[in-house]
A and B are shown apart, each in its own frame.
Chain A
Amino acid sequence: MDMKTDKKKLGLKEKYKLLTRDLGWETTYHTADEVFPYVKYEGIKVHDWGKWEDPFRLTMDAYWKYQAEKERKYYAIIDAHAQNNGHLHITDARYLSALKLFVQAISPGEYAAGKGFARLGREFPGVGPRVACQMQAIDEIRHAQTQIHAMSNYNKFYNGFHAFADARDRMWYCSLPRSFFDDALSAGPFEFMIAIGFSFEYVLTNLLFVPFMSGAAYNGDMATVTFGFSAQSDEARHMTLGLECIKFMLEQDPDNLPIVQRWIDKWFWRGFRILGVVGTMMDYMLPKRVMSWREAFEIYGAGNGGALFNDLARYGVRLPLEWNDAVKALDHMTHQLNLGLYQWSFGTAFHTGIPSDEDMAWLSKKYPDTFDKYYRPRWEHIKKLKEAGTPFVNTGLAKLCQVCQIPTPYTEPDDPTALCLRESEYKGELYHFCSDGCQRIFHDEPEKYIQAVLPMPQLFQPPLGGDIGAWMNWVGLKNGVDNGDYDGSEDQKNFAAWRATATSNQ
């Protein structure tokens, strides 16, 4: 009911500009260099922050309105899920391993990303990107919290969730995502944008959330589906911010291209290493599977990422250096990682298991070139050992990759029978790597990566001194409860018993 006609009606873009851009001013009591001290040292040249295009033009009033609507829906479902024993609706409690891994390894990353975006929300000289980063900062806090809240009720009934905060800081496999996010947080503001905004959000988040959440839907887990999709609705904004930022850097100065390309190379590979964990959840931890890791990568990695790199080609950007290594790894990495997790499952706060005959039939259908040839025989062997009462356990110390922190379970890109190991000497010390990509990343910034905290050597140093019981206490792992094979676990027994009471009149 606009009764006033004398004022010109402002369009969305114009209004947004007045309500954000126009708030900033050029400081005079202190120079821009003093106010924004971290924006130049990475070598990115920006001539005009005003050229920044705001992709989503959300003012705070709209933000509050739509986010509150999302929140109300989300918590209504979470409440119903808790009140109605929603945990008994899932297909099978072995599915929960994926959630345990998620809350230990991924949710802390959401929080860390929020911290980084709060910093960028202060450090970027442009008003447009600052506002977008600030919104992403609170969104990331939201994601960490909604994820913890979704897991809260599962934690009351199932093992493996209870010590996620200790796991985040101390558990060996959590060191993989932790080192990724710590790497981004210790980088400058532009590299952080490429790491999280571009690589993680644009290239990888779809792979993390979309197929994973569809998997949760297939497995009857409405709590997770809801947090996943609710979080994704924010990710669309975040992805667009990442893409906008990369275009902005490339358009501002041609000298930025080699720096940006180096970061794309680095963060693609860092991200791909994290996705190995997600792929393993998809291929091995979901009782009912929606698509294989390979299929998901074809749609969201190769399809979406390919379109993106075609588009960026006009700036001179090429595919990440290790793109081909990634494609070659698709048919192997989840199988190799899951074999690793199984043999080290005494030290995981989630259960693993030997795939059933039905699972193996699915895996050989989805991985026709590799599963039957390389991986089925190994599972059959492990199955025999278990049947003979001598289950396969590896308490040996794996060599950890100095960069991505994976215990080097992967094979050579062109030879699936040879373990891929690289090593380099730096200042008289020997460092190990899982791949050419990680070795290259190390040599670009050796002074950074020699600082890495390696959790396995930690176990053998004081105060733990190789005492596995003490290590378990330290990481919050309850032996025989949280770890080991799902088959025979408390989770399995309880789920079966509770389901039986729920479906009968006993």
Chain B
Amino acid sequence: MQIDLRTVNITPRRQTFDHLAWRFGDKPASRYQEGSYDIQAEENLHYRPTWDPDQQIYDKAISKIVMADWHALKDPRQYYYNTWTIARARQQETTEANFSFIESRGLADSMSAALKATTLEVLIPLRHAAWGANMNNSFICGYGYAAIFTQACMFQAMDNLGIAQYLSRLGLLLGDTAALDAGKAAWVDGAAWQPLRRYIEDSLMVRDPFELFVAQNAALDGLLYPLVYGRIVDDFLSPQGASAVAMLTQFMSDWSVETQKWVDAVLKTAAAESEHNRALLCDWTKAWSARAASALLPVAALALGGDATAVVDEEMAAFKTRLAKTGIQL
């Protein structure tokens, strides 16, 4: 039966679900709101986890951060599954086009051997760092509270994996499987990489989801991405003839700018909640960013040599300015 129903104007009985009407009034809710608020169970949790009977299945108390309502930690990008996937699919199309542009024209071969070597030396071990970031964000999603916060962490985890895979493809393109092998050897044994690897491995031991958020998404990636993709790839390697590398890492540059907005919004909201939170966030950010800066210094020196200290200092200053806007003074 096919009937034309377009002409019928029916008054809805209600505009939205009760829990959204309670939060925002009875008006049509956005798909972001429908998909993000109050979709995690809150009450009547049946059993204590056998893996840690001191915790609840969903437990606010795992973190030292205290929020009256964890749903305050909304994402300014309003990413739910659909908007995130479609945004990334668009970026993926651009990245794919960049890869095939460079591959089909043999642009990687026009780079000098030395430039290629520096590029591989700096970028390829970072795929392991991105993989560490992936594990950490999967943790934050798994143990953090409220879907509105944790879903964004899972998207971040998958982005981290995507970045690790783009870096791997870059390695294969520029230096074949040998480049990946060399990168892994440097990551595991190379002196320049040990402070960073230690940072990642130490962060894997952190089981407060919000502290881990600070260590990974604010402190480490807040310094690493501007430093590596801005200062090293764009400002240092590109002018020497590695613009192909800048094209292949465009995703990372764009992604870093985009995700910082989310990270800042989360920090700002959590810090504004209470002095307790603000003090905690100051301590965590201070400690982890200082470590991140010193771990990144030998990595930056691989490309920048003696200029690395000054560049890392500048990035640290920029990071402090950025954090100050969220209410966190370092």
Contact between A503 and B3 (Cβ–Cβ < 8 Å)? Answer: yes
Contact B201 A27 (CB under 8 A): yes
CA distance A90 to B49 in the complex (A): 43
Known: A60-B158, A156-B15, A186-B47. A169 touches B142 (CB 8 A): no
Name the one of A20, A189, A453 contacting B46, with C-beta atoms under 8 angstroms.
A453
A interface: dominant SS: helix
Contact B103 A134 (CB under 8 A): no
Q: Using Cβ atoms and an 8 Å threshold, which residues of chain A touch B10?
A: 85, 157, 498, 501
- Which residues of A (19-48) have their CB < 8 Å from a CB of B? 19-20, 22-30, 34-35, 38, 41
B31 partner residues in chain A, CB cutoff 8 A: 145, 149, 152
Chain B 139-154 per-residue mask, 1 if CB under 8 angstroms from chain A, else 0: 1011100010011001
Q: A380 in the interface, Cβ–Cβ < 8 Å?
A: no
Chain A contacts of B15 at CB under 8 A? 156
Q: Does B80 contact A (CB under 8 A)?
A: yes
Q: Which of A4, A19, A159 contacts B165 (CB 8 A)?
A: A19
Q: Which single residue of chain A is at the shortest CB-CB distance from B181? A: A22
Residues of A within 8 A of B188 (CB): 25-26, 28
**Stretch of B33-41, B213-221, B256-264 at the chain-chain interface:** B33-41
Flag if B92 contacts A141 (CB, 8 Å).
no
| Contact residue among B29, B50, B103, B154 (Cβ-Cβ distance under 8 Å from A137) | B154
Interface of B is mostly: helix
Instruction: Tell yes or no: A423 within 8 A of B by CB.
Output: no
A130 at interface by CB-CB < 8 Å: yes
| Cα(A118)–Cα(B150), bound, Å | 10
**A178 engages B164 (CB within 8 Å):** no
Min CB distance A69 to B, Å, is 8
Looking at the assembled complex, report how far the CB atom of A204 sits from the nearest CB atom of chain B, in whole angstroms.
Answer: 20
Q: Cβ of A149 and Cβ of B35 under 8 Å apart?
A: yes
Within 8 A of B (CB), among A106-160: 108, 111-112, 114-116, 118-123, 127, 130-131, 134-135, 137-138, 141-142, 144-146, 148-149, 152, 155-159
Name the interface residues of B78-105: CB closer than 8 Å to any CB of A: 80-82, 85-86, 88-90, 92-93, 95-96, 100, 103-105
Instruction: Name the CB-closest residue of A to B21.
Output: A162
| CB-CB under 8 A for A144 and B35, given A1-B104, A22-B184, A68-B85 | yes
Interchain CB contact under 8 A, A19 and B168: yes
The reply to whether A118 and B142 form a contact with Cβ atoms under 8 Å apart is yes
Contact A175 B35 (CB under 8 A): no
Residues of B within 8 A of A440 (CB): none
Within 8 Å of chain B (Cβ to Cβ): is A7? yes
From A29, A127, A168, B198 is in contact (CB under 8 Å) with: A29
Contacting pair A163 B18 (CB below 8 A): yes
A116 to B85, CA, bound (A): 21
Give Cα distance in the complex from A75 to B31, angstroms: 11
Instruction: Identify B8's interface contact among A3, A85, A120, A141, CB under 8 A.
Output: A85
Asked if B268 is at the interface (CB within 8 A of a chain A CB), the reply is no
On chain B, which size bracket covers the interface? 35 or more
Residue B205, interface by CB 8 Å: yes
Partner of A64, one of B42, B89, B105: B89
Say yes or no: A68-B89 contact (C-beta < 8 A), given A170-B44, A186-B47. Answer: yes
B158 and A134 within 8 A (CB): yes
* B163 CB, nearest partner CB in chain A, Å: 9
A238 CB, nearest partner CB in chain B, Å: 15
State the CA gap A28–B85 with chains docked (Å). Answer: 35
Whether A64 pairs with B92 at a CB distance below 8 angstroms is yes
Does A451 have its Cβ within 8 Å of any Cβ on chain B? yes
CA of A117 to CA of B263, assembled, Å: 23
Does A361 have its Cβ within 8 Å of any Cβ on chain B?
no
Residue B241 is within 8 A (CB to CB) of chain A in the complex: no
Chain B 1-42: CB-based contact to A (< 8 A → 1; otherwise 0): 101011110101111111100000000010100110011111
Q: Are B50 and A27 touching (Cβ within 8 A)?
A: no
Contacts of A130 in B (CB 8 A): 135, 138
Decide yes or no whether B134 CB sits under 8 A from chain A.
yes
Given contacts A65-B92, A85-B5, contact A165 B138 (CB under 8 A): no
Nearest-neighbor residue (CB-CB) of B51 within chain A: A38
A182 within 8 A of B: yes
Q: Which residues of A contact B92 (CB under 8 A)?
A: 60-61, 64-65
> Which residues of B sit under 8 angstroms from A19, Cβ to Cβ?
164-165, 168-169
B64: chain A residues at CB < 8 Å are: none
B127 beta carbon closer than 8 Å to chain A:
yes
Contact indicator A185/B49 (Cβ below 8 Å)? yes
B80 in contact with A155 (CB, 8 Å):
no
Complex-state Cα separation, A131 to B155, whole angstroms: 13
Tell me whether B190 is interfacial, beta carbon within 8 Å. Answer: no
What 1/0 mask marks residues of chain B from 52 to 85 whose CB sits below 8 Å from any chain A CB?
Answer: 1000011000000000000000000000111001
A183 touches B47 (CB 8 A): yes
Lowest 5 CB-CB distances: which A-B pairs, in order? A68-B89, A60-B162, A119-B142, A145-B35, A118-B142
Question: Which residues of chain A have a CB within 8 Å of any CB of chain B?
Answer: 1-4, 7-8, 10, 18-20, 22-30, 34-35, 38, 41, 59-61, 63-65, 67-69, 71-72, 75, 83-85, 88-89, 108, 111-112, 114-116, 118-123, 127, 130-131, 134-135, 137-138, 141-142, 144-146, 148-149, 152, 155-159, 161-166, 168-170, 175, 178-179, 182-183, 185-189, 448-449, 451-453, 455, 476, 494, 498, 501-503
Q: Which residues of B contact A (CB under 8 A)?
A: 1, 3, 5-8, 10, 12-19, 29, 31, 34-35, 38-52, 57-58, 80-82, 85-86, 88-90, 92-93, 95-96, 100, 103-106, 127-128, 130-131, 134-136, 138-139, 141-143, 147, 150-151, 154-155, 157-158, 161-162, 164-165, 168-169, 172, 176-177, 180, 184, 187-188, 197-198, 201-202, 204-205
Q: List 22 A-B contacts (CB under 8 A).
A: A2-B104, A3-B105, A4-B106, A10-B177, A18-B168, A22-B184, A24-B131, A26-B188, A60-B165, A64-B88, A88-B3, A89-B5, A115-B40, A131-B161, A134-B134, A144-B39, A152-B29, A157-B13, A165-B39, A170-B44, A178-B46, A182-B57
